[in-house]
Chains A and B, each alone.
Chain A
Amino acid sequence: MTSRGRSTQRVLILLALVAAVLFVVAAGAVGQTETVAQEDEPVLISEQPVPESVERSEPTADHSKFEILQGPFATGPDLTTACLSCHTEAAKQVQGTTHWTWDNHYGEGIGKTTQVNNFCIGIQSNEPRCTSCHTGYGWTDNSYDFTIEENVDCVSCHDTTGTYKKFPTAAGHPAYEPTDFGGKTWNPPDLAMIAQNVGKTSNETCGACHFNGGGGPGVKHGDLNPDLLTASKDLDVHMSADGAGMVCSDCHEGNNHQINGSSVYMSPSDDSGVDLPLDDGNQATCQSCHGTEPMDSDKLNEHTDKVACQTCHIPTLARGETYTKTWWDWSTAGEFDADGAKITTKDENGNVEYTTIKGNFEWDRDFVPAYVWFNGIVDVTVAGDPVVLNDDGVMELNAYSGSYDDEHSRIYPVKAFRGIQPIDGGNNTVALPHLFGKDDAAYWKSFDWNTAIAAGMEVAGTPYSAGVAVPYSGEVAWMETVFYEPATHMVAPSGDAVECQSCHSRDGILASIGGFYLPGRDGGALDWLMWGLVALTLVVVIVHGVMRVVGSKRRSS
C-alpha cells in the first residue's frame, strides 16, 4: 500500500469514529429536545388532540315540564317518591352501591359503617352527624332499614341549582324550617325548584361530601377540597378550566349508579391499560386514559412496574388555599375556660388549633406526602380490635399492604394522618366513643370519656346491623395512631412532577421505603473506605513527587 493510500485510509477511519461518536451524542441531544418540547402536553394513548372545550350532551327531558315535580314537597322522601314514579329502578340501583350501604366489604360486614379512624373515630352511636353525607334520609342508628326506596336521596347527587344542602346533624335530611347551626342559619331548600332542575352530577354535588370529608373543607383529604371547584392548572391538570376541564364523573363513570373508583378498592397498578367500553370495570385509573407507557422516556416508563403514577405526578398535597388536618389529639379535649365556657383557639393561618369538644389539631398545605408500598389491600380496624403498635409505637388503623417483591405493589403516596385517641386500657383494645347526641352519655354533652366509650361500645359490634356489644373494661387509656388517605387527585402539570433526584439521593423522599436498591440513595456504605483509598493514593503520589524533587536538588547541589 502506498503511503498516500495508508494516510487516506487512516483519515477515513478517524472520520468514521468521529461520525459515530457525534451520532450518539446528537441522538441523545435530540431525545432531550423532544422531551422538553412535549412537556406539559397531556399524553393520551389516542393521537387525537384534547379538545379546547368539552361539549357535553344535553338531556332529552325537561324536568320542569313534569306535573309531578311541580311540588310542593314537604320532605326529601316525598321528592324521591316523585322521582321514583318515573325512574322506577333508580333507588334499587343506588341501594346496591357503597354510596348507600357504606359497606366496603373489607371482610364480613366490615366497612365504613364499623371501621375506626382517628378523626371522629367511628360512625356507630354517632350516626345522625355522620350520615349527613349519606345518599339517603333518616339513618339515625343501626336499626336503619336499608331497603326503603323513598329514603334514597336523589338530589344530593343530581341537584344542579347549588341550593340543596343536607343539614349537618339531621341524618341526611335538609333543613325543613330555618335552623341555626355552626354560627349560621340553614334555610330550607326549595325542593320543587330543585326537582325541576335535576341533571347530571357535578364537581359541586360530589364535592359537597367528598371535598368536606371529616366535617369541613379539606379536613380529611389532602387531595380533595373545594379548591378543585376553581382549580388552576397547577393545582389539577384534569379539573381546572384551563386544563382538561373535566368533572369527577369523567373518570368516576359508571353504570346503574355503580361508580368506578374507590378510596377503598384502590388500584395502585392497572396493567390492563386503556379502557374501552365494557372493559375491566376499573375505569378510574390513570392508565384508563393514559395507557401503561405514557411517558416519552423509556427510562421513565420502566419505573411504572414499581412506582404509581401518583407518586411522581402529585408532588405535594393540598397545593391550593385550603389546609388539611394532619394531627388530632383527642386526649387534650374537655378543657374549659375560667367561666366554664368552651374554648376555641386558632393558629396564625386561621385554622382551629384547639376546641374543647375535640382537642388539639395541626394543619398543613403544600406538603410532601408519605410513601408506602401498596398493592391495593388495606387492613382496617374496628372497635374491640387489639391494640397493635408498630416500631414507632404507633397503631396503623388502616395498614396498607405491599412490598417490593409483590408484582402488584407500587410505591404510592398517602396522607399519613396522625393523632392520639382513646383505647380500652383494661383490655388493650381499640375504643369507639359515643361523641354526638343529646343524651348525657355523649362525650360532647358529658365530657366524660368513660361513659362515652361505654355507650359507644354498647352498639359498636360487627356486623353493623347486629348491634353486638364490644366488651369495655371501664378504663380509658390513649394511643398514637396513623390513618392513611390515598393521594390520587390534584395531579400537577408534568413539568411540576417530582424530579429524579427527589428520590435518587441519599436523603430523598423515599429514604424510608425499603426492600430494594435505589440508585443514588443506596450503595454508599463503603464509600468512606474507597474515598480513603483515593486520598491515600493522592498522599502517596504527592510524597513521591516531593521526594523526587528533593533528590534531584540534592544531586545537582
Chain B
Amino acid sequence: MDRIIIIGTGQGGLQMAASLRQEGFSGEILMLGEEPGLPYQRPPLSKAYMANGDAGALVLKPASFYERAAITLRDGVRVTAIDRATREAICADDTRHVYDHLVIATGARNMRPPIPGLQAPGVHELRTLTDAAAIRAALAATRHAIVVGGGFIGLEFAAMARAAGIAVTVIEAAPRLMSRALSPPMSAHFLKLHRDMGTEVLLDAKAARVLVDGDGHVSGVELADGRQVAGDMALIATGVRPNIELAEAAGLVCQNGILVDGTLATSDPAISALGDVAAFPGPLGQSIRLESVQAAVDHARHIAKRLLKAEIAPYAAVPWFWSDQGKYKLQIAGLLTEADEIIPLAPPDGEPATLLFRHGRLAAVETINAPGIHMAARRLIGCDIQTLRAHDFDLKAAIKAHA
C-alpha cells in the first residue's frame, strides 16, 4: 500500500492521517477537503468561539505538523467523483488522484427544513467557521434571536445568546428538547434550566415560514398553527444529513450514511468511511450513525489499526457526547436506544443524573457538571444492574471496588 487518500478535512479526516503515521504507515497521505484552511475543531464554534472570536485557537494542528508528518493537505478542493475501477479520486479542477486505499470522511451538512424564507438576510445556520463568524458579527445588533430546533447546537447557542443579554425563543417540533439524544427526565430538566435562563421555549411547535420586513430582512418565524414569533435573527438548527452523495454515485451501499462493516470498511474493501458519514454496526446489531468527535476519532484509529496492523476486531468503542449549555456541561456515555429502565439520581449538592439500563445492563448515563461520574460510566457500560445496585448506583465507588 503506497498511497492513502482521505476525503474530508474535519477532525476525523485529520485523525485518520495522524493515526496512519502513528501506526507506522510510510507511504503517501493526501487529504482532500472542500473547506479552506487547516482542519479545526467544530465543537467550540457554538461555545468558546462565540465568546472570544479566536479562530486561531480552533486549529487542531499547526502547519508544521503536516510538514513533519509528510501529510499533503489540499484544502478548498471539492472531490466530484470516485472512480473505483481505476481507484481515483477526481476533483472539480479535473485533477485525478490515484489511491491504494481511500477513506471517506465527508461528514455531514446542516439539514434545511422545507420552509420558505430561509434565504432572507438574518437567517443563519451553524456548522462551519464561516457560519460562526457570520453569527458572531450579527449578534452585536441582535435583540431577539429565534432558534429553530431544540437540539445541542440550538440550545448551546440559546444559552450563549441569553448570557449576552439577547432575548431568545426556541422553536422545537418535538414534544421535548434534545429528544434524539436524551431521556425524557433529562429533557424535562433542561427545559427548566433554559426557561430559568430566560429563554422562551415552544414545544410541539413547527416552523412554517420565515417572515421578513420591508427590507427583506428576517422579522420573525410563523408556526404551522399560525402563531408568529417576532425576532431579528433566526438560527436554523434542525439537525444534519450525512454527505453520502459521492459514495452513492460511486455505487457504495448507503443507508442513512455510508454502510460499513465492523471493521469500518465499505462495500468496496479498498474504501473505508468514518465519523458522521459512516453507518456502522451498533451494539444492538442495527447500523447506527453518530455525530460526534468521539466516533470520528475512534473510527479513524480503528481503521488505521486495520490497515497497518491487520487488526480486524470489530469496532466497539463506547460512544460519548457532550454539550455545554451555559454553565451546564451535559455529558452522555453510551447509547439510550431501547433502554427499558431509568434510574434517576438526585445528589443533594449537585445536578441530577440518569442511569439507563437495557435488559438489566447499563446502556447509558447522562450527567451534568459531573465529569468524574461520566468517566466512570464510560468504563461501566454493559455492567449488570445488581452490581451497581450493590453500590447504591455510585459509579465511582463501583469502579474502585472492581478495579
The answer on A and B forming one complex is no
Interface residues, chain A, with chain B CB atoms under 8 Å away: none
